[in-house]
Chain A
Amino acid sequence: MAVTKKDVLEWVRAFAKVIAENKEYLTELDAQIGDADHGANMDRGFRAVLEKLPEGEDVDIGKIMKTVGMTLLSKVGGAGGPLYSTIFMQAGMSIDGKDSFDLADWAKALEAATAGVVRLGKASPGDKTMVDALTPAVKALKDATEQGLSLGEGLKKSAEAAEEGMIATIPLVARKGRASYLGERSAGHQDPGATSTFMLLDTAAKVWANCS
């Protein structure tokens, strides 16, 4: 079972739609503890991505992911721009040159992406950031690979782990990003970055559920 180039394009397009639909929700979450721009920024970035998505026979998965990464870097701004750019760039480099990938490849790609985000954002699990959704998702993917689960099952487990990580950000006091300026007042609110990250992995699980 493998994810093909066509599936990757479908995932990116589906995520752009999820972001457009949840633009106000993400901005609302950000208004609670940040500066009320996460939804609008992500939407601007992914609308640009839709215009630039490369297609054609000679384009591999790595090229698609890197194009998404570069587009986000030049269109999003804020911390979300470089961080989401890094997810796609690192995953793209990990899968570079391939026309399809399996669960083990995706576990490695998301691990590389998470390492990139941690390096750039200097955040650790528990800081109330997107790392809190990414880290458990990577662990779930690796466990699923070891247990020999199917692609669909593994992706579902990673989305569930990301969702748990996202919900677990609610009581946390932010230690990185703009929410950290609020100190104790940041507790009781769900992190917008962890939320959009969950949406990204949840979209992958849904779109790639029946890859053959």
Chain B
Amino acid sequence: MKKLINKPEDVVLEELKGIELAHPDLVKVHYDPDFIVRADAPVKGKVALVSGGGSGHEPMHGGFVGMGMLDAACPGAVFTSPTPDQMLEATKAVDGGAGVLHIVKNYTGDIMNFEMAADLAKAEGIDVEAVVVDDDVAVKDSLYTAGRRGVGLTVLMEKLVGAAAEEGRSLKEVADLARKINGQGRSMGMALTSCTVPHAGKPTFDLPEDEMEIGIGIHGEPGRTRMKIKPADEVTEMLLTPIVEDLPFESGDEVLLFVNSMGGTPLIELYIVYRKAVEMLEAKGIKVVRNLIGPYITSLEMAGASITMLKMDNDLIKLWDAPVKTAGMRWGV
């Protein structure tokens, strides 16, 4: 293992200390239980957004705490869902009287821990709603699986719903918007390399130099299939086609196209993928009206990329363009 860390067990705590030192204008960090809240929390009269998940996906979620996005983020151990006491205390810390929305990625552990936290918060008189993100088309959704994973769409949802909450929309409106976004966004990812969880000390899976994994999630887990590596254009087709067919996205649709790095893939390659994706979508009569390109939801140092598409409308475009001021995403301010 070759990592810029001190001790594996101190990784998350030392990261939080760094965030606290780097962004005192944006966030406050609470320890034991660990959570990050925006510096001006609680914002009176505003619906508060709380998300969280395992660490190792940076900048998600801690980097998205701030004006126009999340009110709080709960970091778990690397790739491990946080615990109910973190979520409960974060919920109490950001509740400004208008209710709290939990944004939960669809993983067994995240769902269980957030459900417990929501029950505890409700028992303390806080109005809590939860939305589940499950946008990964690589997983077949059926009675026989844990359902689709929450991946790239989470980033877009946190930005869009954050803007809606900032506008003063009610808890019900904000929750309905989040469900609408989940209904019209889809993602798929691939890996060129595995990644090494610090306490595991070696890569989660072996991937030979000339092979890739298609249909991976964000936890270094192997994907649906393994195959010989292909040129970027063919890989882009392999990711984009199932996304387009799943919703389906159709001629005349306006979309936000998000090309994400899994951590190790540089921007130069993301732009190559973006270029091919736009060409393919134009040929289908689908118009890319907004985009996001970069490492926003990562899997440690894994090389690879994911593509997310979200069907847009005037309201969503306005919310996307609204000001946001966080460590990981900042514009309009």
Interface stretch, picked from B59-67, B141-149, B155-163, B261-269, is B141-149
A78 — which chain B residues lie within 8 A by C-beta? Answer: 54, 76, 80-81, 109
Q: Given A77-B76, A77-B77, A82 and B220 touching (CB < 8 A)?
A: no
B81 — which chain A residues lie within 8 A by C-beta? Answer: 77-79, 81
Query: Which residue of chain A has the shortest Cβ distance to B195 in the bound complex?
Result: A36
A-side interface residues, number (CB < 8 Å): 32
* Interface-central residue, A78, A82, A121, by most chain B CB under 10 Å: A78
Shortest A92–chain B CB gap in Å is 17
B109 touches A82 (CB 8 A): yes
Whether A44 sits at the interface, judged by CB under 8 Å, is yes
Whether A177 sits at the interface, judged by CB under 8 Å, is yes
- Which of B109, B219, B224 contacts A183, CB < 8 Å? B224
B204 — which chain A residues lie within 8 A by C-beta? Answer: 31, 35-36
B222 touches A44 (CB 8 A): no
- Which of A82, A176, A183 contacts B113, CB < 8 Å? A82
Q: Given the complex of chains A and B, what is the CA–CA distance between A178 and B80 in angstroms?
A: 11
Q: Given the complex of chains A and B, what is the CA–CA distance between A31 and B220 in angstroms?
A: 9
* Interface-central residue, A31, A77, A80, A182, by most chain B CB under 10 Å: A77
* Interface-central residue, A35, A73, A178, by most chain B CB under 10 Å: A35
Q: Given A27-B199, A77-B77, A181 and B145 touching (CB < 8 A)?
A: yes
Q: Given the complex of chains A and B, what is the CA–CA distance between A46 and B195 in angstroms?
A: 27
Interface stretch, picked from B82-90, B164-172, B276-284, B289-297, is B82-90
Contact with A along B253-275 (1 / 0, CB 8 A): 00000000000000000000000
Query: Which residue of chain B has the shortest Cβ distance to A38 in the bound complex?
Result: B80
A79 touches B108 (CB 8 A): yes
A181 touches B221 (CB 8 A): yes
A79 touches B224 (CB 8 A): no
B323 — which chain A residues lie within 8 A by C-beta? Answer: none
Give me 18 A-to-B residue pairs in the complex whose CB atoms sit less than 8 angstroms apart, sorted by A's number. A27-B199, A31-B205, A33-B221, A35-B220, A36-B204, A36-B220, A37-B79, A37-B80, A40-B200, A74-B84, A77-B76, A77-B83, A175-B145, A176-B108, A180-B145, A181-B139, A181-B145, A183-B140
Measuring CB to CB, which residues of chain A are less than 8 angstroms from any residue of chain B?
27, 31, 33-37, 40-41, 44, 73-83, 120-121, 175-178, 180-183, 185
| A-B pairs, 3 with minimum CB distance | A79-B109, A78-B109, A35-B219
